[in-house]
A and B are shown apart, each in its own frame.
Chain A
Amino acid sequence: MDKMTQGQKLFRVFNYIICIAVCLICILPVINTLAISLSSPAQVATGKVAFWPRDFTTMSYEFAIENGRFLQAFFVTLQRCLLGVSINMFMLVTTAYPLSKSRQRFAARHFFMGFYVFTMLFGGGLIPYYILILQLGLLDSIWSLVLPLSVPVYSLIILMNFMRNLPAEMEEAAMMDGAGHFRILVSIYLPVLKPALATVGLFSFVFHWNDWFTGALFMNDPVNYPLQTYLQTLLINFRDLLRMSGSDYHRLLMRMNEQTGRAAQLFLSLIPTLVAYPFLQKHFAKGLVLGSVKG
């Protein structure tokens, strides 16, 4: 690298500082929650806990783990993610493969592509959707959380574009050797699709893990609440209390020790995504970029 002028050096330092500041702004709230969850309620009530726990205790986590409702909701979400991600991945692969063929190879391609793109453009809206689930008898059933949106169209487009960018010779060679479509899909496509599958898999997991609304909409019995829906009820209770106490947050905390417990539960629910993301990140940027370019 050639010599830098004074101005360029200054710029680089300045640039680093801003970038680091932005990154801190992005993760400090998470660290704040972690610090609160590991502090004693009395310390949190003084309003002094910022980024480091005071009066360190794991009490809140013990409380969260022994809390039957938290575990129950956690289990529902686990079940939902397992079912939901499997269904999404199966549907995405089986749908993207035919749609990645050219019109010459698969005549009805445009019709089916239009069928999916239309769902992005127009829908019945919330209330007809609710009535449909009601009439199908799926209220309070886990299937109401995993069967709708089984083919996420955005992910479908990413995966399909990724398949289109694969060299055609690969498939032709396999066909010459007498391999059928199913064989080609499983033993030729799937191994090279890893980055794209990691990307859409991550999207699907994050969607099912984070969605609270369908849980609130379709589950009448709190026993069936997924984790985020359960956490949302905690939040709403908290918000109502907050409003009654004139929004003086810490005065409220004096009367409320569950703040640390809530923070612990929020943080616990964050762990899976925080753990999964860096592992998938390597594939992720690649999958997203290649998938958004049409070949």
Chain B
Amino acid sequence: MVKRLKKDWPYLVLLLPGVVLTFIFSYMPIYGLVMAFQDYNPGLGFGRSPWIGFENFRFIFSQPQFVRSVYNTFYISIFKIIFGVSASVIFALMLNEIRNTIIKRIFQTIVYIPNFISWVIMAGILYGILASDGIVNNFLGFFGIGPIQFLSNSSVFPWTMVWTDVWKTFGFGTVVYLAAITSIDPGLYESAVIDGAGRFRQTISITLPMMGPIIMLMTVLALGTVLNAGFDQIYNLYSPAVYSTGDIIDTFVYRLGLQNGRFAIGTAVGMFKSVVSLVLISLSLLVAYKVADYKVF
């Protein structure tokens, strides 16, 4: 042990600052979860607030708004994953067909740009272009469609969230998938050409199957965070008119816990989310490891 310390001390010194800060800001809040089992009173603190067992949990499960937010979270998240992965894969395949590397890189750069724009700014932009007399509805008007209330019609709202998120984030997947395509052994294509396979056939029979593991991996990792349906996006775009289909767990916790000051109830909802997330992420990492041999560390 002493000998080990003698050898390892430089590593430990390097690790120290990060570990201290991470302990304070990521581990200490976990202690705050005791609130979920208390009738928490800020004046009394964690130490002296009365314990009430699972009362807070019983309360939230009896709330239709909570159950609704769980449903909405899954609904929005799952469609974001399905369409997001498909869009990234399809666009990567299309870019792959472009031979000119400079043009290819320019396209790749452009589709990545929306990733860097914050949801606050995106929301500002979307309010303009999705308005009843905004660009999108004007465009749809040419085809005799609309006007569609993208942000205030509760049956359209979840789809607006799905598609604006796909639009903002698919560029990231494209970069990853394109890199995966580049690393496919060119010999495979050569032998396919000898066998008489055309470009389309090569894409279907070689490129897609070779991308299988990475697509699987990205999807599984995304499924692990399925409970994060996009707080920044939804909070900045929703309104009471679309709570029925647009309110997600995170926005529910924020309104209930912080805006209405019901700390204990909000913590219970947050804890429910953390626990379910823990299970889902662990499962997804396990599947990623078994299927794609992916190890986080």
Give the B-binding residues of A (Cβ under 8 A).
1, 8, 11-12, 15-16, 18-19, 22-23, 25-27, 29-30, 32-33, 36, 47, 50, 90-91, 94-95, 97-99, 101, 106-108, 110, 112-117, 119-132, 136, 147-151, 157, 160, 180-182, 185, 206, 209-213, 217, 228, 231-232, 234-235, 238-239, 242-243, 247-250, 262-263, 266, 269-270, 273-274, 277-278, 281, 285, 288-289, 292, 294
Contact = CB atoms under 8 A, between A and B. Distances in A.
24 contacts: A12-B97, A15-B94, A15-B97, A23-B110, A26-B111, A32-B128, A32-B135, A33-B125, A116-B22, A123-B274, A124-B28, A125-B29, A127-B253, A127-B258, A128-B32, A132-B24, A148-B25, A231-B124, A235-B123, A249-B131, A266-B125, A273-B116, A281-B109, A289-B176
The 5 closest A-B pairs by CB, nearest first: A128-B32, A125-B270, A124-B29, A249-B131, A210-B118
A234 B236 CA distance: 11
B30 interface: yes
Contact of A106 (B11, B113, B114, B250): B11
Interface stretch (B12-20, B59-67, B72-80, B154-162): B12-20
Interface in B120-179: 120-129, 131-135, 138, 149, 151-152, 167, 171, 175-176, 179
B185 to A, nearest CB: 16
A196 to B, nearest CB: 15
Contacts of B171: 26
Nearest to A20: B107
B33 A26 contact: no
A180 B278 CA distance: 40
Contacts of A239: 127, 239
Given A113-B297, A250-B133, A122 B15 contact: no
Contacts, number: 263
A124 B22 contact: no
A250 B239 CA distance: 19
Interface residues of B, number: 91
A244 to B, nearest CB: 12
A112 B295 CA distance: 16
Given A127-B32, A128-B32, A106 B8 contact: yes
B157 to A, nearest CB: 13
Specify the main secondary structure of chain A where it touches its partner. helix
Contacts of A213: 231-232
Nearest to B126: A29
Contacts of B30: 122-124, 128
B266 A277 contact: no
